[in-house]
Amino acid sequence: MELNEPFEGHEHATTSLKVILLVFALVVIGALAYLMQVTYSQPDTTQETAPTVTGKASSASEVADWKTYTDASGKFSFQYPPTLKINSDVKGETTLMVSFSNLSTMEDLPSGYDRETLTGLRDDLKSGKVKTAISGSLVKETVTLRQLDICDLQFSYVFDIFDGADSVVTLTYSLAGSDKTSVIANNPSYFTTDTANCGSEKVWQTEGETAFRADLAAGKTDSATKQWANDAKLIATTFKWID
């Protein structure tokens, strides 16, 4: 019996240590489970915001340093960024083109339009068949991203603004030159190349145009592109018909 006593003591100590370690592990597991429960039960306070001004009137602070454009005939006015060129014919220059038309006389209709199209659009805006881009006004907003063929990428915001009678103003804010190049360079996932038809020029990826249009509306493109979109919409919200 005396020879077995040391071994019995060692076995007892080992068993006690296992029990202590097991209790410790259970305490740690319980503590971790409690912390996880507390963490994941907290409300999510993060918010995802997308800059958009369509349907909102611009505040004075947003356009405080903008210039005012008044039509030579005194029929309308709007505000615009001081660096933006109006009706510039310089090739490759970002510009805002302004076209005033009279539907009754068919004078000075903007390129690509005819009286029937514009008259129908005006009537659809008045009836609510086409949703107006700016509350309280008759404004059709169009984003043009391609013209003519697959190689001809365009980045234009177009606003057709009606007075409800026979007058319509078309504002076209188009990126060109280095501004257009930056949009393509800063948003590479939407574009690819078609060397057989367009050489080194970028073209839209399959579904790239659709994705870009959706992300542009949601404010998910690069900062320069979002600025272009916001400025275009702000310009439209400052538009006023002069009685």
pLDDT digits (tens, 9 = 90+) for 172-204: 999 999 999 999 999 999 999 999 999 999 999
Are both 37 and 129 inside the same structural domain?
no
Task: Using alpha carbons, select from 167, 166, 143, 169 the residue that is nearest to residue 156.
Answer: 143
Q: With cut-offs at 50, 70 and 90, classify the pLDDT of residue 25.
A: low
- Residue 118 carries which side chain, given as an amino acid letter? L
* pLDDT score for 112: 72
Q: How many helices (H) and strands (E) does the chain have?
A: 6, 10
Residues 10 and 99 in one domain: no
Q: Is residue 121 part of a domain?
A: yes
Instruction: Tell me if 95 is assigned to some domain.
Output: yes
* 42: confidence class by pLDDT, cuts 50, 70, 90: very low
Q: Taking the model in full, what pTM does it have?
A: 0.73
**In this model, does residue 127 exceed pLDDT 90?**
yes
Give 50 or 11, the one with higher predicted confidence: 11
User: Does residue 90 form part of some domain?
Assistant: yes
Range 138-142 average pLDDT: 95
Decide: 183 and 175 in contact? Cβ < 8 Å: yes
- pLDDT over 80 (residue 146): yes
- 106 & 181 share domain: yes
| Residue 59 pLDDT | 56
Compute the distance between CA of residue 161 and CA of residue 141 in angstroms, rounded to an integer.
Answer: 9
CA torsion sign for 129, 131, 136, 137 is negative
- Alpha helix stretches (DSSP H) within the chain: 5-40, 115-127, 177-186, 195-198, 208-218, 223-237
Instruction: Answer yes or no: is pLDDT of 39 > 50.
Output: no
- Specify whether 225 is located in the same domain as 132: yes
225 vs 186: CA distance, rounded Å: 9
Beta strands in 111-201 (DSSP E): 138-146, 153-162, 167-174, 191-193
Distance CA 14, CA 184 (A): 70
Asked if residue 200 and residue 86 are part of one domain, the reply reads yes
Instruction: Tell me what the mean pLDDT of segment 37-45 comes to.
Output: 37
- Kindly state whether residue 52 falls inside one of the protein's structural domains: no
Regarding whether 128 and 88 lie in a shared domain, the answer is yes
225 shares a domain with 112: yes
- String of b and e for 112-122 (b: at least 16 CB within 10 Å)? eeeeeebeebb
Whether 54 is covered by a domain: the verdict is: no
Backbone torsions φ then ψ of 46, nearest 5 degrees = -75, 145
- Looking at the structure, tell me whether residues 20 and 117 fall in a common domain: no
- Residue 164 covered by a domain: yes
The answer to whether residues 105 and 219 belong to one domain is: yes
Domain check: are 29 and 76 in the same one?
no
Q: Please check the confidence at residue 45 and state whether its pLDDT lies above 50.
A: no
pLDDT tens for each residue of 69-100 = 999 989 999 999 999 999 988 888 999 999 99
Q: Rg of the Cα trace of the chain?
A: 32
Would you say residue 200 lies in a domain? yes
What total number of domains does the chain contain?
2
Q: Which domain holds residue 186?
A: 67-241
Based on the fold, state whether residues 35 and 79 are members of the same structural domain: no
Share of the chain above pLDDT 70, in %: 73
Q: Considering the domain boundaries, does residue 213 fall inside one?
A: yes
Confidence of residue 167 (pLDDT cuts 50, 70, 90): very high
CB 118 within 8 A of CB 102: no
CA 221 to chain centre: 6
| Residue 106 confidence (pLDDT) | 67
